[in-house]
Structure 1
């Protein structure tokens, strides 16, 4: 039986992150800290053999992925708009003044459905992953996903609430910049979730392997 380890990584820090400015689908760039975080994240993952990688098409995620490409130069990537962060409408580019969302914000239910559509159709139904499940050997296959904090936390929560996966308390904490969450999947069921157990957001971090 093939077991998948899906590595979910948030992009590196941006100036907007640091200043508390809402980004959503706004195009922003990594700052110096974010670039260093991404470099260290890439070094942390350099010995993981990935069969494929997916990345949001927003610049800060692509820029984070570029650091991984330097240590995994032959890894094939899919840049996918389905991994884009939640659209936050008129809030984008501003600091929040209220917890309530205006009508221009992508509705939560629609947002979650978009996330699950990517998981079901674009991740699990893609030819590359289907080929992995055709193996009759007991093997572990690693898949890398680089995206956004809200998106990844909502993905993990939706795997529990909509898919019935055992995710425990995963997804309820903060997704740190370049923090790594590992979801272990067997027969499309989550066996284990290590929510942001691997921290690369601190410049002086020490790499900790989950497995």
Structure 2
């Protein structure tokens, strides 16, 4: 009986975020601001008694998780490909404005590759959730992933009525180092989306989520 509380965090900022470059599944690193954000979210979550941690295997997410786990001795990091965001196909490494406008200039001999569909990412995220979170023996779980993955996971869970959200709670873009919180009953039943994408802890005058 009882509940499990899941804290879902987006990775800190990267140079590609700052420059408006589509990352997709490129393995990019945190920049100085991203490291600072990761340290701030780590400080905000330091008193949460995590007993499990999962992250995307991409460096920007895994490094954010490692900075959070500095305050949590004995909690191992499990990196998993299922927590990656969209593969953005031939738009990876290109400007986001070109992706939005569907502008693509190929180099000679370069082949096109379509971005992964949101439906596929949702399916992948919800399947991971159902296989990993449902039935977990942990009481507090940390998950570190990417903006679209987090939004699509939450939307998928809401759609299948696995969780409910308070009236007026918005689900959409998840800012760097933002924190969402879901509480699930251990027995069968609907969980609650307690918070989505809060970045209050990144303010100088706020230290907790």
TM-score using structure 2 length = 0.85
State whether structure 2 residue 172 is matched by structure 1 residue 162.
Answer: no
Q: Which runs of 4+ in 1 moved over 4 A?
A: 100-103, 168-171
Distance 1:205 1:10, change over 3 A: farther
Tell me the equivalent position of 2:140. Answer: 142
Deviations 1:93-130 (A, max 9, x none): 011324377861112222211111111113325xxx1x
Deviation at 1:20, TM superposition (A): 1.0
Deviations 1:19-39 (A, max 9, x none): 111111011000000001111
Unaligned runs of 5+ in 2: 103-111
Deviations 1:170-200 (A, max 9, x none): 5633211111111111135222431123534
Correspondence 1:179-198 to 2 at 5 A: 179-186=178-185, 187=187, 188-198=189-199
Contact 2:118 2:152 in 1 (8 A): no
1: CA distance between counterparts of 2:35 and 2:101?
32
Unaligned runs of 5+ in 1: 133-140
Contact 2:90 2:113 in 1 (8 A): no
Tell me the equivalent position of 1:73. Answer: 73
2: CA distance between counterparts of 1:161 and 1:95?
32
Tell me the equivalent position of 1:173. Answer: 172
- C-alpha root-mean-square deviation of aligned residues, in Å? 2.1
TM-score using structure 1 length = 0.84
State whether structure 2 residue 25 is matched by structure 1 residue 25.
Answer: yes
